[in-house]
Amino acid sequence: MFDLTPLYRSTVGFDRLARMLDEASSFEAPTYPPYNIERLSDDEYRITMAVAGFGPLDINIEVKGNALTVSGKKAEQRSDEAKTEFLHQGIAARAFERRFQVADHVQVQGADMENGLLHISLKREVPESLKPRSIPVNGVTGGTKVIENKKAA
């Protein structure tokens, strides 16, 4: 575990970042379901989660502030499935909730499910007002200013 006290003494306004680092190092992250986070381009990302046994109606994706929450809960089994006796049940269809911290200006574009994998597309969209812009400098556009156009005598 890292001591972030020196960081607090020399920075201003990074309290949230330091708090997130403290929280990340203080608890064990859940391992179910497994997931990947991919960078597709400079501004596009994708989270892929292995959700075998879950259908699109069993998955809930919610964005609140900078938190992305993905949860899954199997619908109630039908009466004919409830009578099934498993000799071995290796496909874990237990309920889950996975949270991701999303950076500022990263928006969830959509979600698709294919072959037991849930793909969540994200894109960074920085508003025009926050993008860097060039400011022209006003002043004399010519070289040197000529005061008088006569030779000295």
Query: pLDDT tier at 43 (50, 70, 90 boundaries)?
Result: confident
What residues does 114 pair with on adjacent strands? 117
82 has a pLDDT exceeding 80: no
Query: pLDDT tier at 53 (50, 70, 90 boundaries)?
Result: confident
The CA distance from 10 to 45, in Å, is 32
Query: pLDDT tier at 112 (50, 70, 90 boundaries)?
Result: very high
- Write down the pTM of the prediction: 0.62
CATH class of domain segment(s) 31-126: mainly beta
36 has a pLDDT exceeding 60: yes
- CB contact at 8 A, 20 and 102: no
* Average pLDDT for the chain: 79
75 has a pLDDT exceeding 80: no
- Distances in Å between the Cα of 126 and the Cα atoms of 77, 104, 111, 123, 130 are 45, 9, 21, 10, 7
- Distances in Å between the Cα of 4 and the Cα atoms of 10, 20, 28, 103, 146 are 11, 11, 19, 21, 62
CB count within 10 Å of CB 151 equals 5
Domain ranges of the chain: 1-29, 31-126
Q: Does 142 or 55 have the greater pLDDT score? A: 55
- CB contact at 8 A, 82 and 127: no
